[in-house]
Chain A
Amino acid sequence: MTTETTTTPAAAPAAGTPLLEARDVVMRFGGLTAVGGVDLTVNTGEIIGLIGPNGAGKTTFFNCLTGLYVPTEGQVRYQGQLLPPTPHKVTQAGMARTFQNIRLFHNMTVLENVLVGRHTRTKEGIVSAILRGPGYRREEAESRAKALELLEFVGLADKRDMLARNLPYGEQRKLEIARAMASEPGLLLLDEPTAGMNPQETRATEELVFAIRDRGMAVLVIEHDMRFIFNLCDRVAVLVQGKKLVEGDAQTVQSDERVIAAYLGTPMDGAEAGTESTTSTEENQ
């Protein structure tokens, strides 16, 4: 767990207890069933991968988990509690996410972006912001310290006063992760964190995700990059056409006939599957 004194909602339960439980999640848009009854459990201290071809419903499933969409059927529980269907309450509860197409606050500085991430873990209101009592000062100082520590962690500390939009692409991804981590989530959801990255950057992101896990956060990651996912994840779930095809450790998934057939295609296509991620843009609906 992290070292700071601020309250953490996910007061790290013993490793291996269920953190996120999604039961039979269904999402329909009109006649189209984007997600058709998916179960997923994430335990504390785990890194779980979610893979699947384009349009398999991964991001839609993600949006159902984080309250951006209200699932047509099914339940999502976090630490045993039903998750409210609004994004800000989900974050409050202890799940934070990044976006597939980076959504930083472009005209705020790097540090301010992370400070915004602190929003749910701070509570001073407008009156105390104006009066600036000792409580407010303490909280603001704590937030800053925590934010700077996170920037140090992802390696952006020296760029704290730059505008987010002026960061290079890879660092924008890192900043988005730092911003999400600032809300001290028990579970971090990463939506294609290596999209558009070169191999070195991908490897660095791999290290970063391990380091995040070592800080006591469970991670659920959507990816296209096979090598990245199989190196990283304790368990991998494969989503095809809105249904979970198989779930298990890297070995199991890699050797599963159905996955090879449905996702990787013939071995020749499979060789290309890893490079596909750079240009892919998944449909949201």
Chain B
Amino acid sequence: MTDTKTLTTEQPDQAALKPAVRMPAAVAHGLAIGGGALTAASAFLAWTYSSSFPGDLTISGYPGGLQWLTLTAGLLTALMGVIAAVPGLRVLAPGNPGNATLLFAVGGVAVTWFTLIAIAVQLHGLVNLTSGGWVAGVASLIALVGTLGLPRAPGSTVCAPTRAEWLQTLYAGAGLLAVGYLLHLTGNGAAGLVMAGAGVVPIARLCIVLKHYTGPTPTLRAAKRLPVAVDVVLMILMLALALEIFAYGVDTPYGQLFVGFLAVLCFSLWALSQSGLLRRATEIFERNRAWAAVLGFLTAAAFVFVQQSDADAALGVNVLIFAATALGLNVVVGLAGLLDLGYVAFLGVGAYAAALVSGAVTSSVHATFPFWAAALTGAAVSGIFGVLLGAPTLRVRGDYLAIVTLGFGEIFRIVVSNLDGVSGPNVTGGPNGIVNIPDLSILGFNLGNPHTILGATIGRFANYFWLMLIIMAIIMLVFSRAADSRIGRAWVAIREDETAATAMGINGFRFKLLAFALGAALAGLAGTVMAHVNFSVVPDPFVFAGPVPPNSAFLLAAVVIGGMGTVSGPIVGATLFYLLQQKLTFLQSNELLIFGVALILFMRLRPEGIIASRRRQLEFHEAEDAPAAQLSTAGA
């Protein structure tokens, strides 16, 4: 984090620092385990009198809604607490089990207190909380105090922020409160959000404190190699778990539950990386790459079996289209370093091309191509547009390219809106677009018809989900192989220093054009499926910035925030963005506002993105250790 420099750091080889709360080790272990267990148990109590809080937390004896999350966090705390307390169990958590316990406990506190506060705020007053709610709150705090008494890991640093940093936090929080109040006076819809931001500032500060308290991700000695069969079983178990967690996140019926879910998920992943388990898991996946790819694909395909409705499958297929396009953009931005701000237009070109040859009545081309031909047409036409746009502009300075591509994106939207037979020749149907696009028929099988596999009904969107998954796998393969090849190295070399790259014999213009064409073709491929999934193609989604993905700004953000130059980064970024936008409906129409702020903050705090490529990781944080955040992608 950026604040490292202002914190007083200790020599890493010095003895471990004292814990925050001084107590005998036995007491600390006892409090941690007991607190965790009590937290878990308290989830079975009733927390409120009123059933108007979503999830119905009024029932004793059975957890509901957010209580499940508290239960999970409590159990994990207790479990890790036991591992930390018993030296013989060290093998289960080879890293820092103490830190992991602490982070699980923090997750428990976060979700429990978030729930209590949400109940109090939403139902107007603390009186709505029953004693059960208070028990949960206190139990989670006991676990926290206990874990703060556990011995600390070597490499952790003095965590108290300086006076200046506290003041900074105070000013930022107060400033946001003041701005929020002013906005409130003028009736601006973003007022509440800005004031909520004032609350986030100290939380962010506390997270930084926590980061220093726990220290860097532990480095482990090489583990014993397990037989491949054991590895495979382990991978299947882990992927199944990841899928279950992902499906739970997708299914969350209300925003509060989703926020709680994210909180527990984030702290749990942090805890797992501290415990060293994430590292071990990554090792297993890395040494069995082929198996990992196959099992990952199958897990993703199994998503349609664990989800509750075809609506979730629709969400899944949209996420995949968005992610596939983001991965195409990643070729252009992440590898070749060319900033394309009108990228969604290529998705549009593919979608329109496929719609035109789909045999739809409203299409001005009266042809019906089979899917493989339509997909190739979409990709090829899109790629040609990429070359047409790139050929004149890729010779100019990089900064200009951003604007030219932005202009191209706008031109595309204007042109397709005007090629309606009134203000231009009739090609695209203008603002009404091309509608009633028939469902795809592959090998005589109509994707529009639901069918039954293994007793489960596979609906229309699930069919498309599987189709898109195959296309996604192809795109991932193309991306990762292109990136790790002579071509990919040439792209990165151009990004790094074009003069030196040409002096090494790389034809800069040709390779930039290739990146542009490949990126455009991948987006066009995704666009062909999009046209059929949505029944229609209209100009509206192909804008620079809009509230609903995909649009150029969201695509760029998915790549940048996910992690430029990586395969999994844009997928994680796209999934996160799509889910956040779908789940956080209580933000009313402020998603874009948050989105803008998120972009700014990410560039400030973690410019390499969530999943940092090895290169970018080294680029931005040379001294720090690489946190292994790979597993979170498995479910996507």
Contacts and interface: CB of A to CB of B under 8 A. Distances in A.
Contacts of A163: 615, 618-619, 622
Interface stretch (A70-78, A125-133, A198-206, A244-252): A125-133
A215 to B, nearest CB: 19
B392 interface: no
Interface string A120-158: 101011100110100010011001000000000000000
B502 A86 contact: yes
Contacts of B488: 129
Interface in B232-268: none
Given A103-B497, A105-B493, A129 B487 contact: yes
Size band of the A side of the interface? 35 or more
A105 B481 contact: no
Interface stretch (A25-33, A34-42, A111-119): A111-119
Interface string A63-96: 0001010000000000000000011100110001
B490 interface: yes
A275 interface: no
Contact of A126 (B493, B500, B518): B518
Interface stretch (B153-161, B347-355, B399-407, B505-513): B505-513
Contact of A105 (B482, B492, B622): B492
Most chain A CB within 10 A, of B477, B481, B488, B503, is at B503
A122 B486 CA distance: 8
B489 interface: yes
A115 B489 contact: yes
B324 to A, nearest CB: 16
A150 to B, nearest CB: 13
Contacts of A165: 619
A108 B489 contact: yes
B286 interface: no
A166 B623 CA distance: 11
Contacts of A124: 485-486
A119 B486 contact: yes
Interface in A150-180: 163, 165-166, 179-180
A116 B508 CA distance: 13
Contacts of A112: 489, 492
Interface in B122-174: none
B496 interface: yes
A258 interface: no
A97 interface: yes
A119 B490 contact: yes
Interface string B465-500: 000000000000110011001111110110011011
B500 A105 contact: yes
Interface string B440-483: 00000000000000000000000000000000000001100110
Given A92-B505, A120-B505, A126 B496 contact: no
A109 B508 CA distance: 20
Contacts of B493: 105, 108, 116, 119
A190 to B, nearest CB: 13
B472 to A, nearest CB: 15
Interface string A215-239: 0000000000000000000000000
B80 interface: no
B503 A129 contact: no
Interface residues of B, number: 31
A129 B500 CA distance: 23
A116 B514 CA distance: 17
Nearest to B484: A129
A129 B505 contact: no
Contact of A88 (B481, B496, B507, B514): B507
Contacts of A125: 487
A130 B477 CA distance: 7
B504 A117 contact: yes
A152 B488 CA distance: 24
- Most central of A68, A103, A120, A124 by chain B CB within 10 Å: A103
A92 B508 CA distance: 14
A92 B496 CA distance: 21
Interface string A37-53: 00000000000000000
Nearest to A131: B481
B501 interface: yes
Contacts of B615: 107-109, 163
A13 B420 CA distance: 67
A103 B496 CA distance: 9
B503 A91 contact: yes
Contacts of A105: 492-493, 496-497, 500-501
Given A106-B496, A107-B615, A163-B618, A126 B503 contact: no
A106 B505 CA distance: 18
B508 A88 contact: yes
B616 interface: yes
Given A68-B499, A87-B502, A140-B485, A107 B514 contact: no
Nearest to A102: B500
Nearest to A165: B619
Nearest to B514: A126
A129 B481 contact: yes
A179 B504 contact: yes
Interface in B603-625: 615-616, 618-619, 622
Given A66-B503, A91-B505, A107 B487 contact: no
A259 interface: no
A243 B196 CA distance: 71
Given A116-B489, A126-B482, A129-B485, A107 B506 contact: no
Contacts of A91: 503-505
A49 B501 CA distance: 25
Contacts of B490: 116, 119
B488 to A, nearest CB: 8
A103 B500 contact: yes
A129 B479 CA distance: 10
A119 B502 contact: no
A139 B514 CA distance: 21
A175 to B, nearest CB: 12
Nearest to B486: A122
Contacts of A68: 499, 503
B504 A119 contact: yes
Given A68-B503, A91-B505, A126-B514, A108 B492 contact: yes
Nearest to A93: B505
A136 B482 CA distance: 12
A183 interface: yes
B486 A107 contact: no
A210 interface: no
Given A87-B503, A108-B496, A115-B489, 17 more contacts: A68-B499, A88-B502, A88-B507, A88-B508, A91-B504, A96-B505, A97-B503, A103-B497, A104-B497, A105-B493, A116-B506, A122-B486, A126-B487, A140-B485, A163-B615, A165-B619, A166-B618
9 contacts: A92-B505, A96-B504, A99-B500, A104-B497, A105-B501, A108-B496, A116-B493, A119-B505, A140-B485
Minimum-distance CB pairs A-B, first 10: A120-B505, A91-B505, A129-B485, A103-B500, A105-B496, A87-B502, A116-B493, A163-B618, A107-B619, A88-B505
